[in-house]
Structure 1
Amino acid sequence: MKIDKKHLVNYSIVIPYLMLSVIGLIIVYSTTSTSLIQFGLNPFRSVLNQGLFLVVSLIAITFIYRLKLNFLKNGKVLSAVMVIEMILLMITRFFRPVNGAHGWIVLGPISFQPAEYLKLIMIWFLAYTFSQKQDQIAQEDYQALTQKRWFPRNLEQLKDWRVYALFLILLVAAQPDLGNATIIVLTSIIMYAVSGIAYRWFSSLMIGIVSASALFLGATALIGVDTMAKIPIFGYVAKRFSAFFNPFEDLTDSGHQLANSYYAMSNGGWFGLGLGNSIEKRGYLPEAQTDFVFAIVMEELGLIGSVLILGLVFFLILRILLVGIKAKNPFNSMIALGVGAMMLTQVFVNIGGISGLIPSTGVTFPFLSQGGNSLLVLSVAIGFVLNIDANEKRETIYQEAQANYQAQMEKDYPFGSSNRF
């Protein structure tokens, strides 16, 4: 019995994905057309570029969906991908910084951001690593993942997963790209929590992170942002912390973006000003099409419209998490849960930044923000989840068919027969 995967597509994931992608194209046009017209450019320039990436993304999803999952479980393939990613992250230092960060590789008309792809690669790496240790985790709990040294003394100890993860995260943070680094760290913590260890360790980790963040923000408030700016690694983010503490103190510089985000959300009210009628996108709110796109969504569509879009995003995330919860294979489960965690943390960091709940980190909003790299990474992640879901369904059908066949054989031949399927 052979089941074609095209009959196992999870439309509760595909349909929300397509809806959000189309809404994203509309929002990209709305947030970019005005400024493009002001500069005498084609108002459809940005949306056409985003549309091209959407076509590439759909092709990528189709290709990944047809792949055999053994490809993802191949350690040599994963190792090669990680080495290439490390090289790309180091190469970014030789390219011109964008918004103060060396995060982009620009080759003529082609540009890409390696840190975006690291989010998915880290999920793949941790799922592969943790799934190999399920028997040890069942016996030793968290110690199965932390037996080796953080600082290896020989080549054998370099195989510690924490060494690779920490090195890659530091490469991103050094760009500096604290937004993507934050998402990768939070996603990694969630994946560590779902690896099979006791839940109390996840609670302890989260309490530690929240406490450390509170202490850091408190110390920054006491010593002052100006003092923190003198520290080389914090020079770039000092203005973001200044805006976080009081965006209206310096409306012409550090607080300009966040203050105008507040104005945009306030302008929207319950029902918004109407699609395309945003005031803040007309030169008042910088990066209106990327980091602060949801503020423009709230201004144009209002609280009700933005809540509906958020509801669609959360529905997609919940369906992805459900695939991970139902999956019987540990690798499949952790991939799906990792993808859901990545999207959830990205939404949290973006909304937290534009609302002033956390310092702004420059993270885009999934599907709605302009950015082909972000859309492609999300689409590839969706492709992984759809493939995993189809394989889990097919395996369940095979097992049920075999169980029914054996039950029927035992009923027909109660005194013994061949039970081969």
Structure 2
Amino acid sequence: MRRQKAEGTTRTTKYFDYTLLFLIIFMLGFGLVLLYSTSSYEAMNKFGDSTYYLRHQLRNMMLGLVLMVFFIVVDYRRWKRLALPIYGLSLLACVAVIFFGVEYNGSKRWLEIQGIQFQPSEIAKIAIILFMALIISRRPNCLGTFKNYCKMIAFAVPLGGIVAVSNLSTAIIIMGIAMIMLFVAGPKARYFIGLMVAGAFAVVALILAQGYRSSRIGAWLHPEDYDNGYQTLQGLYAIGSGGLFGKGLGESVQKLGGVPEAQNDMIFSIICEELGIFGAICIILLFVLMLWRFMFIANNAKDLFGSMIAVGVFAHIALQVILNIAVVTNTIPNTGIILPFISYGGTSLIFLMAEMGLVLNVSRSIRIEDR
């Protein structure tokens, strides 16, 4: 009897997703290589230092890694009590952008405090993930009707609406994160489609409300006829000239002033030119692997709050990658969305690393039973 009891016992071991950690580190390192290749020419012309963007990205990456380690160490369940205050502070910061924001390239998206500039809209992404994870975990059984679906999504509308005033593309991502989290928590396809249709009408209304956004539609349909279609055209030339295997790392021609601000949201076009379609597909597959790890963690998380955090980060990365590639290939109008881990960015990279820390912390809650 003792032997049978010993054979029937199970041993529980702790888990940590080292595969996801490796993917994050690899994407960051590979992103630095691609960023330097893309930005060195413009950095030399603009600042007299070919490593200008690389050094700043490396600094932001170090800050992001510190924040990631912090979120890995601190139990994610502690953020339940802070989810609502973080949401409120994020909302106030986004309102402050409208009145006190710093303008750059015609867009007012930054706040400056003691000489430090940051984008509150990037903080809003992590705020909406935590907040939606909180309210879904508190009321997991209230998504059975379309009315309740609408009530839940209404919690995200104030933040999305405020961000939309100055940054429509980020507002779309914020609302998209909230809707995907709701869909995963209560998979009612017709409710999800209904919210998508309502969201599409809201986006169209916001585009028509401001002239410069309407001009982007024209530049999307006929980029050769609009001044703001120049970047799109040059990006398409870069993609087309890369062919199957590209011209080689560092050999891009379009980055030599052809594609404006290539190190930001158009970096994928330079990747296609230098590494070809093959290199672009490899990068997309890396993102797919990362998304798979998010879903694995979401499916095995200890509680619903942790699961929804992983789903929220999944939605953020998936939406941002899809929209960035769609913009670069002129599938949708230009929206100024950067490619995660690869494009040049400050606040975006730092808080993206914080999200990675959150998901890795959720993975620590997973317990594997060994028989």
TM-score by length of structure 1 reads 0.79
Cα 1:361–1:37 shift into 2, 3 Å: same
Give the AA of the match of 2:239: M
Over the aligned positions, Cα root-mean-square deviation in angstroms equals: 2.5
Q: Distance in 2 between matches of 1:289 and 1:73?
A: 36
Higher relative contact order (CA 8 A, sep 6+): 2
Identical-pair percentage = 30
For structure 1, which runs of at least 5 residues remain unmatched after alignment?
Answer: 149-160, 221-227, 405-421
* Pairing 1:7-26 to 2, within 5 Å after superposition: 8-26=15-33
* 2:179 is aligned with 1:174: no
Does 2:55 match 1:81?
no
Partners of 1:89 and 1:174 in 2: CA distance: 9
- Structure ID, larger Rg: 1
Can you list the C-alpha shifts for 1:299-351, whole angstroms capped at 9, x where unaligned? 11111011111111111111112211232511111110111011000011111
Identify which of 93, 97, 100 aligns with 2:103: 97
Letter in 2 for 1:279: V
For 1:38 and 1:135, how far apart are their aligned partners in 2? 58
Which residue does the alignment assign to 1:70?
Answer: 77
Matched residue count: 360
Does 2:306 align with 1:332?
Answer: yes
- Greater mean deviation of Cα atoms: 61-70 or 310-319: 61-70
Distance 1:90 1:254, change over 3 A: same
Structure 2: gaps (5+ residues)? 1-10
Q: Summarize the alignment of residues 307-386 of structure 1 with structure 2, pairs less than 5 Å apart.
A: 307-386=281-360
CA distance in 2, matches of 1:291, 1:330: 34
Which has the larger displacement, 120-129 or 163-172?
163-172
Q: For the residues of structure 2 that align with 1:127 and 1:319, how far apart are their CA atoms?
A: 18
Kept in 1: contact 2:157–2:175 (CA 8 A) = no
Instruction: Tell me, in whole angstroms, the C-alpha distance in 1 between the residues paired with 2:261 and 2:213.
Output: 16
Give the letter aligned to residue 357 of structure 1.
T
Residues 314 and 116 of structure 1, relative CA distance in 2, 3 Å threshold: same
Deviates more, 1:311-320 or 1:192-201: 192-201
Aligned to 2:210: 234
Are the equivalent residues in 2 in contact too, given 1:133–1:144 (CA < 8 A)? Answer: no
2:42 to 13, 35, 52: 35
State the secondary structure of the residue aligned to 1:104: strand
Deviation above 6 Å: which 4+ runs of structure 1? none
Which one has a larger percent strand, Structure 1 or Structure 2? 2
Cα deviation code 1:90-111 (max 9, x no counterpart): 2223133222221111346521
CA contact (8 A) 1:261 1:292 kept: yes
Task: Within 5 Å, give how 1:204-353 maps onto structure 2.
Answer: 204-206=194-196, 212=201, 216=204, 233-250=209-226, 253-353=227-327
Kindly indicate whether the alpha-carbon contact (under 8 Å) linking 2:217 and 2:333 is maintained by their aligned counterparts in 1.
yes
**Partner Cα separation in structure 1 for residue 62 and residue 302 of structure 2:** 32
* Distance in 1 between residues matched to 2:171 and 2:101, nearest whole Å: 19
Structure 2 Cα separation of the partners of residues 206 and 80 of structure 1: 28
Q: Deviations over 1:267-300 (max 9, x none)?
A: 1111111111111111111121111110011011
Q: Counterpart of 1:237 in 2: which secondary structure?
A: helix
* In 1, Cα distance between equivalents of 2:232 and 2:149: 41
Aligned-pair CA distance for 1:58: 1.5
Letter in 1 for 2:79: L
Matched, 1:186 2:176: yes
Match of 1:59 among 46, 66, 72: 66
TM-score normalised over the length of structure 2:
0.89
How far off is 1:262 after superposition? 0.6
Question: 2:77·2:306 contact (CA, 8 Å) conserved in 1?
Answer: no
